[in-house]
Structure 1
Amino acid sequence: MNEDPPSSQSTSTRPTEKSWLDKVLNAFTAEPKSRQELLEIIKEAAENKVVDAEELEIIQGALDVADQQVREILVPRSQMVVVNINAQPSELLPLVIESGHSRFPVVGESTDDIRGVLLAKDLLPLILNGTDNFALDNVIRPATIIPESKRLNVLLREFRENRYHMALVIDEYGGISGLVTIEDILEEIVGEIEDETDEDTDDAFIRKVGENDYIIKALTPIEDFNEYFESGFNEDEFDTIGGILMRAFGHLPQRNEVADIDGYQFRVLYADNRQIHLVRLSTPS
């Protein structure tokens, strides 16, 4: 009597569908057809607790950066803190202390007349040597000028290779449109980075970061939002801003998706596969 070999029995009972682990391994042994396909594999790994939500967001942020240009994240010209080339220490030091920045564009007759970049640490010798014979020309560093269209992943590589942390951005006409720092790019990947110079607001849910720009937690109560911005969002249907945003999107949004509600623009900074966590708000001018 003939019997099938054991190998045939094991083959007949083997599942036909690939497990999530097979898919992950295949992603690294065969080139994924698209970036979205790779992301879906990594998301499935997150659902199976192979990577956590924070790691998933970092991976997704790194992939998103490759599709973004400098113009999407730059600090606008109107919000730049600049130093005039003819400024004296008595003018420089209060500005440096008040702003809390470590680098400043140095300009001549106008903001378009970029002379270089001042590092706050280069003013430290004034403590020992005094202000006599001080000239800003002697301490400024060369400025790096880039176009608005430069991709963020390319700029991040240049930041690392050339060991500089700030670049001035020009528009298509050659005028200064803003600036970008290495921290701005890293925040696109890992989320908002706070340090000891960042100001705490009385309301932990809302933090002002520009003239009309704010970082808002999705759990911000609508009542608090309305009071802070003197807005009129309905408080009957939802308790938090996240609820209003979910209705506006109609789905669980991904990073960088934008919703315009009553003149307020909300851009998602951080969301996982369950809820929105953090958004950037641009208010009406």
Structure 2
Amino acid sequence: VPEEFIIPAVWLDVIHHTGRPYHWWLFLGTQNAERMSLVVARPIEILSIIIWPIVKFFELIARGMSRLLGSRKEKHLSEEELKSIVTMGRDEGILSKDAARIMHNVLRFERKKVINIMTPKVSMHMLDGDAKLGDVLNFIIKSPYSRFPIYEENKDKIIGILDVDDILKYIKSNRLGVRIKNISRPPLFVPESKDVDDMLADFEGKKTPVAIVVDEYGYVIGLVTLEDVMEEIVGDIFDKSRKSSVYIRKESENLIRVDAKASVEEINKALHLGLEEKHFNTIAGFVEGKLQRIPKRGEEIKLKNITIIVDQVTDQSIKSVKIVRN
């Protein structure tokens, strides 16, 4: 098959068979991530239906060529073969580096579970539903987040999600005595074992693209957002749009300073470590998960070959850590 047929055929085949064709378009919304992805999801799903005949056309060509060459047994491309084709397309200049990176991310994307990308419970900023808006307003203003899980009685009983957009009218009219549970939105619950690629369908049409992650017993273990899902797809491209980029900076042979948003996976790769990735997305989540609380500056976690020291911290979250090789 001519080379110019191979890449388009694989491109369309991957788009069609992932069942989530809009994965490839999400990088367009990096400036307005949530709004853009929810707007384009339905049109691109329609596009998937439109391009289906084109996909079948390339499949028929490939099948016909296979028969002419004497092979009658159908063979589906494995993930490794697809990765090789994408890499070849990048090396030959057919695909841009960014496009190839996104395609590689999507190939890994389908194997991931929600538990692999969620923010752990210990790092969630939750509010008591019985609290009055005026009592929590200062906390909301200081928090880096715009949505807050609302609980009743205990933090395993989430009853809603408070969106900062919803509180503006109450502030303007000076109705600060309203209880926040009365102005929260219904929560979405998902199991920890849910496939990440199914989350986009769950978020589609929802006013609040936030889901509470629960374990097999129904206990809250974390939170996942549309942004978390998009970061898995567009990776570094999404990070480039941020003012404060994630970094890992080597200050000496045995001292590394790490931004709290850096993922455990990239830290392991960069520093050749074996930190647990299964239950923690970022190094901040790793530290808070091990300590089961937001730590104070200077607190340490001693591991086999390294010591993690909390470097910069606020009342709500870790900002950076230092990793010292023992």
TM-score (normalised: structure 1) = 0.64
Per-residue CA deviation, residues 47-69 of structure 1 (Å, 9 max, x unaligned), is: 01111111111111122111100
Structure-2 separation of matches of 1:283 and 1:72: 22
Instruction: Please tell me whether the aligned partners of residues 105 and 114 of structure 1 are also in contact (alpha carbons under 8 angstroms).
Output: yes
Secondary structure, in 3 states, of the residue corresponding to 2:155? coil
CA displacement at 1:262 relative to structure 2: 2.3
Instruction: Please tell me whether the aligned partners of residues 113 and 193 of structure 2 are also in contact (alpha carbons under 8 angstroms).
Output: yes
RMSD across aligned positions (CA): 3.6
**Inter-CA distance 108–224: structure 2 relative to 1 (3 Å threshold):** farther
Q: Which amino acid aligns with 1:147?
A: P
Which one of 102, 107, 122 corresponds to residue 58 of structure 1? 102
CA displacement at 1:244 relative to structure 2: 5.2
Secondary structure, in 3 states, of the residue corresponding to 1:115? strand
TM-score (normalised: structure 2) = 0.57
Indicate yes or no: 2:160 matched with 1:104: no
Aligned to 2:217: 173
Structure-2 separation of matches of 1:43 and 1:72: 25
Indicate yes or no: 2:305 matched with 1:262: yes
Which one of 248, 255, 267 corresponds to residue 226 of structure 1? 255
Secondary structure, in 3 states, of the residue corresponding to 2:228? helix
Instruction: Please tell me whether the aligned partners of residues 112 and 196 of structure 2 are also in contact (alpha carbons under 8 angstroms).
Output: yes
Calculate percent identity across the aligned residue pairs: 25
Instruction: Please tell me whether the aligned partners of residues 144 and 168 of structure 1 are also in contact (alpha carbons under 8 angstroms).
Output: yes
**Inter-CA distance 155–26: structure 2 relative to 1 (3 Å threshold):** closer
Indicate yes or no: 2:193 matched with 1:149: yes
Q: Which amino acid aligns with 1:23?
A: I
Per-residue CA deviation, residues 146-168 of structure 1 (Å, 9 max, x unaligned), is: 10000000011221244531000
Structure 2 unaligned residues grouped into runs of 5+: 14-57, 60-74, 259-267, 275-280, 282-302, 309-320
Per-residue CA deviation, residues 100-140 of structure 1 (Å, 9 max, x unaligned), is: 21111001111101111100111101232112651223211
CA displacement at 1:23 relative to structure 2: 3.2
**Inter-CA distance 243–107: structure 2 relative to 1 (3 Å threshold):** closer
**Inter-CA distance 39–32: structure 2 relative to 1 (3 Å threshold):** farther
Aligned to 2:169: 125
Please give the residue correspondences for 1:158-197 in structure 2 after superposition, counting only pairs within 5 Å. Answer: 158-191=202-235, 193=238
**Inter-CA distance 227–181: structure 2 relative to 1 (3 Å threshold):** closer
Instruction: Please tell me whether the aligned partners of residues 256 and 322 of structure 2 are also in contact (alpha carbons under 8 angstroms).
Output: no
Which one of 74, 87, 90 corresponds to residue 131 of structure 2? 87
Highest Rg: 1 or 2? 1
CA displacement at 1:216 relative to structure 2: 3.5
User: How many residue pairs are counted as aligned between the two chains?
Assistant: 215
Structure-1 separation of matches of 2:144 and 2:240: 10
CA displacement at 1:171 relative to structure 2: 0.7
Structure-2 separation of matches of 1:21 and 1:156: 32
**Inter-CA distance 61–131: structure 2 relative to 1 (3 Å threshold):** same
